[in-house]
Amino acid sequence: METNPIPVVTAQTSPYDDQRPGPGGLRKKTSVFESKRNYLQNYIQSVLSSIDLRDRQGSTVVVGSDGRYFSRTAIEVIVQMAAANGIGRLVIGHNGILSTPAVSCIIRKIKAIGGIILTASHNPGGPGGDFGIKFNVANGGPSSDTVTEKIYQVSRTLEEYAICPDLRIDLSRLGRQDFDLENKFKPFRVEIVDSVEVYLNMLRGIFDFNAIKGLLTGPEQLKIRIDAMNGVMGPYVRRILCDELGAPANSAVNCVPLEDFGGQYPDPNLTYAASLVESMKGGDFGFGAAFDADGDRCMILGQNAFFVHPSDSVAVMAANTSCIPYFRQMGLRGLARSMPTSTALDKVAKALKLALYETPSGWRFFGNLMDSGRCSLCGEESFGT
């Protein structure tokens, strides 16, 4: 606990007219965030101000990143501004690392009002690369059009932002850090959490880990090759597939998150994951996968580098949900796909006598269907299921 209350400062600024977030949040060249005065602060203030003050006061927000360059700097600013704007608690991944699915999982588990994810998805990282900021809402999914429009409108007229410039946290230290602020009755709290544990526990409740472990370690062992592309998924691949499920260490490659993703595009396709394709061609591995930077997209390969199209992978999963304990227990309410995704899923829906929903591209539309209880499994053409 800090002995002297940390001051809350109101800083003057000028608005920018180019901070309208898209479906993946606000994405710009990293140099824009680094070189334009208060560009980062303006957008974070716009996000925080888009939340009604009554909802914001004392609330919890989750923060994570895909580990790209500028993330640590941005997290420090987010912490300082969240404290000054009345947020009561931040839950942050260890060393700032949290995959997008893990952020969604934690938001729902702890009933946070939302989460800030620092990622530009499959875009390159580094000083010459891209940087992005996503705001996921209380259901764990992307912001609705209403929320993104509100953020944009605030950004167009912003004249000041609130910040605690003297507040410092240690992202490497797991556990709770409390801070007394000026004019606050309760301490501001930061919790640094294991990046993988909550997500791993969720997976344990969905899949049959014993069966999967038997597949990966048994007498007829399925050899796998998983490429994390030096993005956020490295710790998850190591911990879940290797440590928990027993896959050999050489099953996982490029598992150290790097600020520039090793100079490569963290885009899981046949072009940018060419090294995985080559390793699969020899036939030694029966299953291969590559993840994008923030872990919400993956490419799947079969033996001899057989490419499984995303439109087919979601259909295969839907056709085999009876193998998954969660779906055996909860049932399958409906299926959904984006408009550009092929109709393979439609055929599965017809065979299973389930409703099939076609949506515009964008995960927020899937979220609406899930929140209304009409959809249990969904996927889209750009490697997301």
Give the Cα separation of 119 and 132 in Å (integer).
5
Give CA separation, 153 vs 120, 284, 298, in Å: 22, 54, 34
- Between CA 115 and CA 131 the distance in angstroms is 17
Pair 382, 310: CB distance under 8 Å? yes
* Residue pair 256/67 in contact by the 8 Å Cβ criterion: no
- Helix (H/G/I), strand (E/B), else coil: 21: coil
| Pairing label, strands 89-97, 26-29 | unpaired
Instruction: Give strand pairing partners of 62.
Output: 91, 115
Helical (H) or strand (E) element with 56: helix 53-56
121 is catalytic: yes
Choosing from 59, 104, 121, 311, which is the catalytic residue?
Answer: 121
As a whole number of angstroms, the distance between CA 298 and CA 313 comes to 10
Indicate which residues carry an active-site annotation.
Answer: 121
